[in-house]
Structures are given as C-alpha cells and as structure tokens.
Amino acid sequence: MAKDSLTVTDNRTGKTYEFPIENGTIRALDLRQMKAAPDDFGLMTYNPAFTNTASCKSRITFIDGDKGILNYRGYPIEQLAEHSTYLETAYLILHGELPSKAEYGEWTHNITHHTMVHENIKELMVGFRYDAHPMGMLGSTVAALSTFYPEAKNVRDADCRRDQIFRLMAKITTLAAFAYRHSQGLPYAYPDNDLSYCGNFLQMMFKRGGRYEVSPVLERALEVLFILHADHEQNCSTSAMRGVGSSEADPYSATAAAIAALYGPLHGGANEMVLRMLREIGSIERIPAFIEEVKTSGGDVRLMGFGHRVYKNFDPRATIIKKMAEQVFQVTGRNPLLDMALELERIALSDEYFIKRKLYPNVDFYSGLIYQAMGFPVDMFPVLFAIPRVSGWLAQWDEMLDDKDQKIARPRQVYLGAGRRDYVSLERR
Ligand code: ACO
C-alpha cells in the first residue's frame, strides 16, 4: 500500500526514521531527530539560494515552470491580460476573489483617493542629486513613508493593514512619477483623480504644459504590463518582503527592502540591462560575436533577459508581451532595437548552449523595448516593475501575517570558519 511518508536510514547510526509527506514536502525540522551522537545538533539541509525549499504555504500565485503556466488565484495570466485591468487583478491577488461591481468601485475609489503625498515627501525628494537613479529615490521615499504613518507598525490590526495597502498601492505611482520628473528637472505633476490608475500615472509622468491626452493603446499596454508583473510567488524581492515583514516591521520598511532586492540586475534590473546590452552590441552584424562572448565567458557575460530560475520552457509573460509590442509600435513607431532583439532571440533559440541550459526569453527581454517606445527612459524600467509588484508584495506580506506557521525568518548556517582561538594583542601580531 502506498503511504504518504518517507523512510530514511541514517548510515551513521543504522537508525531508520519515517517522516510524513504533506503537499509534496517533508518538514525540514523533522530531520533534526536524526543525530549521529546524543549531543549532536541534528541533521539540517544545506540549500543555498533556497532552490529546493518551500518557505511558506501560499494561495496567491501558481507557477509551473516546465509547462509555462502562471495563474493568479487560479486565473491564467493570459485571461487576466486579455480581460482584466491592473486594479481588478490587484484586488484579486490581495483578496483571493475577483471583485463584484460594488467592491471594484469602492476599491478603485479608495486607491484613487490616496494618490496624494504629503508635501514634505516632495521636499524630501527635491533633496536628491539632480541625476539620482529613480529606483534609488523610490526605495528611499517608500522607506520614508513609514515616518509619515507611524501607526503602520500595528501590523496585527487588520483595519490598519488595509489602510496601508490603499496608501502604498496609490502613492507608489506618485512617487515613481515624481522620481522621474526630478531626474529630468521637471516640476512634479500632481495626481488627477478623474483618470484610471495607469492613465493618471502616464499624465504624472509625461504632462508638460496644458492637458495631457492619454493614448488608449498605451494606457491599455501599461495595464497589461502591470498585470503581468503583479506577482510571481517566492522570488527574491518577495522573499525580502516576507523576510523583513516577518520581524513585524511596518509595510513601508518591508516594501523598501523588496524594492532594494528588485533593483538588482539579476532581478528587476534585468530589463534595463537588456536595453544597455542591445545598445552595446550596436548592430545586427555584431550579434554572433556577442553570443560567442556569452558562451565562452564561463557565466561572466550573460544574455540579459534570458533564463529564469523557474521557467525552463518558456515564460508565458514574454509571449504576451511580444505580441503586444506590435500594437504599441503602431502608435509609437517601431523601436529600432527590436530587430536586434528578434535576431538575438532567433540565434539564441537555435544555439546548443542555450538549448542545453533551457534558456529562453523572460519577461524582461521585450518589456524594455515597449517601455522605451512609450517614452520611458531606461532608468525607469525597474521602477515600472516595482509599481505593480507592490500588489504582490502586499498580498504575500498580508498572507504571511495571518499564517500561524510563520515566525521571524531566521535561516541556519553551516559554520566552516576558525575554531576557538585566543585574542593576540596588536603589538604581537
Ligand atoms: N546568459 C548566458 N548564460 C546563462 C544565462 C544567461 N542569461 N542564464 C543562465 N546562464 C547559464 C549559466 O552560466 C549556467 O551555465 P553553466 O551550467 O555552464 O554554469 C546555467 O545557465 C544555469 O544558470 P544559473 O545561474 O545557475 O541559473 P539560475 O536559475 O540561478 O539563474 C537567472 C536564473 C538569474 C535569471 C539567470 O538566468 C540570469 O542571470 N539571467 C539574466 C538576467 C535576467 O534576465 N534576469 C531576469 C530574470 S526574470 C525576473 O527577475 C523578472
């Protein structure tokens, strides 16, 4: 009879243990029963970068990397990208169900009416250097928000938590646009509550004098890009959000940590790196030499926008974005870097090096080209990733706080350093 358990023999002692298997996992703590001697600490697992460790149970996002499946709360990303709006998807991610008409209206109203930021926040942003990277500005000002809402530290109070969720969801667009305008030396543009979430963000970014007409095609493209980036289960930045949040830090501080994690070029900084890479390659003729460099560099030079820790077949978000690029380019004109990207993709997908390692274009490979065509400077790309990911981070943070299994995050280590030794004074060293 098949049993949901694992039987292991510890060859150091000859003892056999049986561990229950639940949801395809064993509890790592069960292994601690296995001791080589009575004073032994007990067996641990060694898992750098948590590649095979489930750190939580979650009901938010499902990914099957081999099949290229991404679902939010059970709904396939393709259906949400086609039919939903970003705010509706964010509601779904945060609440578990799609909203009724009334719930959607109230949700949209609450977020729209929290878009203003305190004037002191604006003054704080003015203090950044004229050429400050907008992602650095965003992380710092989100952290600063915790000083404006000290009550946010009441993370065990559900009503208080809900208020911070409205605030963060709303103010992130305002801070992002202010950061951009600061780096351009432009006066900050205030939110317009009559516009949609994405429409308002576009006007705060690009409004010059007079009225800003939001292009429905670009507004919809941004909705779709935001939907695609809203959550991606336990990635680096979400783990940072959960890790910092597990100490019961307020959500602004935890979100600032998540933004810092997203800033790295191996995570949310990748779409910026794709554009820089395309510019550096410079022309289609130089692509074969670049591919050769990637292959012989021993991992030092990477084809940015390729590869994924989880997707080993295709990234469903990349497929949606590639299709959408054509619609956007009809309005904005074709991005000249697109031909280079298409050629890079064609060569890489037929090259043994990439095939063997299951390296495919990820979400970042084409998103940067669209953002650039829409008028966003490269520095803003990670910021454009952070805005929608706030909904995912908050949903994961909220779920963690209600999860009775969770405690402050605190991994173990394998210590390989020096044994005990006595201090030697400076003169004798
Ligand atoms: N270009 C060239 N080689 C690569 C690439 C790449 N983009 N990605 C992985 N490899 C190679 C590695 O050198 C390694 O080769 P080896 O087995 O000969 O040593 C092998 O493929 C496995 O790579 P890992 O680094 O072990 O894969 P991992 O799952 O840890 O990394 C990651 C995933 C970080 C995304 C990686 O593929 C990468 O650096 N890609 C480029 C950056 C990027 O596009 N990041 C965006 C990710 S999506 C997102 O965050 C939204």
Between 366 and 417, the more confident residue is: 417
Spell out a b/e string for 373-391, using b for 16 or more CB atoms within 10 Å of the CB, else e: bbebebbbbbbbbbbbbbb
Q: What is the DSSP string of 24-54?
A: TB--GGGGGG--SSTT--------GGGTT--
For ligand 1, mutation pick of 233, 302, 351, 354 (most atoms within 8 Å of CB):
302
Residue 94 CB contacts under 8 Å (≥ 6 apart), including other chains = 165, 391, 394, 395, 398
The tokens for 160 are: 């208080």
Average pLDDT over residues 315-338: 89
Average pLDDT over residues 201-210: 93
Compute the distance between CA of residue 203 and CA of residue 206 in angstroms, rounded to an integer: 5
How many angstroms is it from 290 CA to the middle of ligand 1?
Answer: 16
Q: Are 379 and 183 in contact (CB under 8 A)?
A: yes
Q: Are 184 and 178 in contact (CB under 8 A)?
A: no
Q: Are 245 and 405 in contact (CB under 8 A)?
A: no
pLDDT of the residue at 189: 94
Query: Atom 34 of ligand 1 has which residue's CA nearest to it?
Result: 266
Q: What is the DSSP-derived secondary structure letter of residue 16?
A: E
Average pLDDT over residues 288-312: 92
The tokens for 279 are: 């510019």
Maximum distance among all Cα pairs of the chain, rounded to whole angstroms = 80
Compute the distance between CA of residue 399 and CA of residue 392 in angstroms, rounded to an integer: 10
Mark whether 267 is an active-site residue. yes
Task: Using the structure block, give the residue that is written with the tokens 């996002």.
Answer: 61
Mark whether 232 is an active-site residue. no
Give the position, in ligand 1's atom list, of the atom nearest the Cα of 309. Answer: 29
pTM of the model: 0.92
267 lines ligand 1 (CB under 6 A): yes
Give the position, in ligand 1's atom list, of the atom nearest the Cα of 306. Answer: 7
How big is the chain by its Cα radius of gyration, in Å?
24
Is residue 2 scored above 90 in pLDDT?
no
pLDDT of the residue at 231: 98
Query: Atom 20 of ligand 1 has which residue's CA nearest to it?
Result: 357
Summarised one tens digit per residue, pLDDT across range 5-20 is: 999 999 999 999 999 9
305 lines ligand 1 (CB under 6 A): yes
Q: What is the DSSP-derived secondary structure letter of residue 105?
A: H
pLDDT of the residue at 3: 92
Summarised one tens digit per residue, pLDDT across range 91-145 is: 999 999 999 999 999 999 999 999 999 999 999 999 999 999 999 999 999 999 9
Nearest-CA neighbor of 351 among 423, 271, 412, 287?
A: 287
- In the chain, the percentage of residues whose pLDDT exceeds 70 is 100
Is residue 267 scored above 90 in pLDDT?
no
Average pLDDT over residues 376-393: 96
Q: How confident is the model at residue 266 (pLDDT cuts 50, 70, 90)?
A: confident
Summarised one tens digit per residue, pLDDT across range 405-422 is: 999 999 999 999 999 999
**Annotated catalytic residue: which of 231, 250, 308, 315?**
308
**Annotated catalytic residue: which of 250, 315, 364, 398?**
364
pLDDT of the residue at 56: 98
Nearest-CA neighbor of 28 among 41, 45, 5?
A: 45
Is residue 245 scored above 90 in pLDDT?
yes
Q: Are 115 and 169 in contact (CB under 8 A)?
A: no
Is residue 299 scored above 90 in pLDDT?
no
Summarised one tens digit per residue, pLDDT across range 144-153 is: 999 999 999 9
357 lines ligand 1 (CB under 6 A): yes
Is residue 31 scored above 80 in pLDDT?
yes
Helix (H, G, I), strand (E, B) or coil at 296: helix
The tokens for 134 are: 């907008």
**Annotated catalytic residue: which of 30, 95, 267, 403?**
267
- Min mean pLDDT across 40-54, 170-184, 301-315 is at 301-315
Is residue 400 scored above 90 in pLDDT?
yes
Is residue 334 scored above 90 in pLDDT?
no
Q: What is the DSSP string of 189-222?
A: PPP-TTS-HHHHHHHHHH--SSPPPPPHHHHHHH
Give the position, in ligand 1's atom list, of the atom nearest the Cα of 302. Answer: 1
SS3 for 140-173 is HHHHHHHHHCHHHHCCCCHHHHHHHHHHHHHHHH
Query: Atom 27 of ligand 1 has which residue's CA nearest to it?
Result: 309
Query: Atom 3 of ligand 1 has which residue's CA nearest to it?
Result: 302
Summarised one tens digit per residue, pLDDT across range 188-199 is: 999 999 999 999
The tokens for 16 are: 């056999």
For ligand 1, mutation pick of 225, 266, 295, 358 (most atoms within 8 Å of CB):
266
Summarised one tens digit per residue, pLDDT across range 55-64 is: 999 999 999 9
Compute the distance between CA of residue 51 and CA of residue 322 in angstroms, rounded to an integer: 29
Residue 293 CB contacts under 8 Å (≥ 6 apart), including other chains = 301
Q: Mean pLDDT in the chain?
A: 95
pLDDT of the residue at 270: 83
How many angstroms is it from 306 CA to the middle of ligand 1?
Answer: 7
How many angstroms is it from 307 CA to the middle of ligand 1?
Answer: 5
